[in-house]
A = this chain, B = another copy of it.
Amino acid sequence: MEEFKTEIRAGAKLAIALLHYPVYDKNSRIVATAVTNFDLHDIARLAKTYGLVRYYVVTPLPEQRELALRISRHWQQGWGAEYNPKRKAALDLMTVTETLEDALADMRREFGDSVSTIATGAKGTANAVSYRDMSHLLKKDGTNYLLLLGTGWGLTENVLAGSDYVLAPITGPGDYNHLSVRSAASIIIDRLLGEHS
């Protein structure tokens, strides 16, 4: 079977969490969204490409956790793993948890006690941290980081208020900034860790 050498980057360890709850729906009600197949694959492949240490899929709904695990197992075992080892290698990073707290507890257990959270969203806040500053923090040892992404219409105010950092939103030249969570995750991780000339 095909193997991949993935150098884990020097500096802080970075993980990503995709929250299906608590997030807003289009009418600003707090809901639990459904797990989406493409979110699992796209973000796992992104995490693997950039040397992230974990991809947490967070949902309080037992049947949704079971669905995420079933999709993951399909590519990690038997026929799926043989057919496409690249998917297996990416999904090996995926861990399904019930809550954000469970994801943080797992990170502390695996990588050390000091973990800070970085929230993301299309609105931003008055004291949002820039990509440049966050990128510098990620080059240092000592603290590890969990990047939080919201499905639906985004993370709730409570999650943002409870996070250690809130990243500046991604904006274009106009007033339309409605990227999919898959696009936003890709751009954010590349801005934080990508190296290009």
Residues of A that sit less than 8 Å from B by CB: 4-9, 26, 38, 41-42, 45-46, 48-51, 84, 86, 89-90, 130-132, 168, 170-180, 182-187, 190-191, 193-194, 196-197
Given contacts A4-B175, A6-B172, A175-B6, contact A183 B180 (CB under 8 A): no
Do A173 and B6 have beta carbons less than 8 Å apart?
A: yes
| Chain A interface, >50% SS class | loop
Question: Please, which residues of chain B bring their CB within 8 A of the CB of A41?
Answer: 180
Select from chain B the residue with minimum beta-carbon distance to A48: B176
Complex-state Cα separation, A89 to B174, whole angstroms: 12
Question: Please, which residues of chain B bring their CB within 8 A of the CB of A171?
Answer: 49
Question: Please, which residues of chain B bring their CB within 8 A of the CB of A183?
Answer: 42, 45-46, 182-183, 185-186
Do A187 and B194 have beta carbons less than 8 Å apart?
A: yes
A170 to chain B, nearest CB (A): 7
Question: Please, which residues of chain B bring their CB within 8 A of the CB of A184?
Answer: 186
Do A179 and B45 have beta carbons less than 8 Å apart?
A: yes
Complex-state Cα separation, A45 to B48, whole angstroms: 24
A21 to chain B, nearest CB (A): 21
Do B172 and A49 have beta carbons less than 8 Å apart?
A: yes
Most B Cβ at <10 Å: residue of A86, A175, A179, A184: A179
Do B196 and A191 have beta carbons less than 8 Å apart?
A: yes
Selected contact of A6 from candidates B90, B174, B185, B197, CB within 8 Å: B174
Do B178 and A45 have beta carbons less than 8 Å apart?
A: yes
Do B131 and A196 have beta carbons less than 8 Å apart?
A: yes
Do A48 and B178 have beta carbons less than 8 Å apart?
A: yes
Given contacts A51-B172, A196-B131, contact A90 B5 (CB under 8 A): no
Select from chain B the residue with minimum beta-carbon distance to A39: B38
Selected contact of A178 from candidates B49, B170, B194, B197, CB within 8 Å: B49
Question: Please, which residues of chain B bring their CB within 8 A of the CB of A9?
Answer: 173
A90 to chain B, nearest CB (A): 7
